[in-house]
Amino acid sequence: MKNLDSSVQQKIDQWLEGSYDENAKQEIRSLIEQEKYEELTDAFYKDLEFGTGGLRGIMGVGSNRVNKYTFGVATQGFSNFLKKTYPDQQIKVAIAHDCRNNSDTLAKVVADVFSANGIKVFFFEGLRPTPELSYAVRELNCQGGVVLTASHNPKEYNGFKAYGADGGQLVSPHDKAVMDEVQKVASIDEVKFEGNNDLIQLIGEDIDQKYLAELKKLSVSQKEIQNQKDLKIVFSPIHGTAGVLVPPALKMYGFENVTLVEEQMVVDGNFPTVVYPNPEEQDALAMALDKAKEIDAELVMA
């Protein structure tokens, strides 16, 4: 196609002729038929880069997009790193995901690739906040972890964050070593997509309770909490993962006057009540602030 750079065309041909599923190929054909050359160029002009924090990008078809294939390559590279770093061990990883569109299905792809590589997977049965993933890595004596999230980026985005055995994001020299292994995966034919369900174990409530109990130990003053138990609090997760743990946490810790922004308690990767799901932006807090004014609350959390 004369409207496309030759390198972009070459990558498109690789996807159309390679071991990609028919849905991906049909989506590419549709973009070609609609002459969406700018979109095709952006989707294929480079590979989505695995950086120090992992991967993040717009969801869709293409080598520069978040999809099962780019996440598959990332997971295969991370698997190769773990097997080289911990030889002759039963390697274990924990996986969590957020509320974003496709996070659950992409998380299962990640779990399948790890398990296909002989790695034991502890897989959260539903969405969970990122700090709990870090806790699970340490609590379950894992050598690594992954959380699928794009933080507060727009709804079109998703991401893959890689964690080490300490529960923290990868740091030098391990971050570069993982990047090197990801870059060595030359094609999706090297990715082991056929999962081993015997190596995938669902986790959830048990870890939730242990995590919340550990957090309670960090309380500066339980007596002060008791004195402030009637503090008027308004909470909103803005459709995200915090809605899973924050309300029960506040109740467990002794706060008895918590009002939820019910419209934003609904899990939804489209974030329908906000333009941009970043609680640092005033517009994203509008509903919570309105509720706080309505009930004369003293604290807003989001």
Query: How many angstroms separate the CA atoms of 132 and 237, rounded?
Result: 15
Query: How many angstroms separate the CA atoms of 253 and 102, rounded?
Result: 33
Q: Which residues contact 187 (CB under 8 A, 6 or more apart)?
A: 18
Q: How many angstroms separate the first and last alpha carbons of the chain? A: 48
Q: Which of 151, 187, 219, 236 is catalytic?
A: 151
Q: Which residues contact 20 (CB under 8 A, 6 or more apart)?
A: 69, 188
Q: What are phi and psi of 58, to 5 degrees?
A: -80, 140
Query: How many angstroms separate the CA atoms of 159 and 153, rounded?
Result: 10
If you write DSSP's letter for every residue of 272-301 in order, what string do you get?
TT-SS--TTSGGGGHHHHHHHHHHT-SEEE
151 carries an active-site annotation? yes
Q: Which of 145, 143, 147, 137 is nearest to 107 (CA)?
A: 147
Q: What residues does 162 pair with on adjacent strands?
A: 146
- For the annotated catalytic residues, the residue numbers are 151
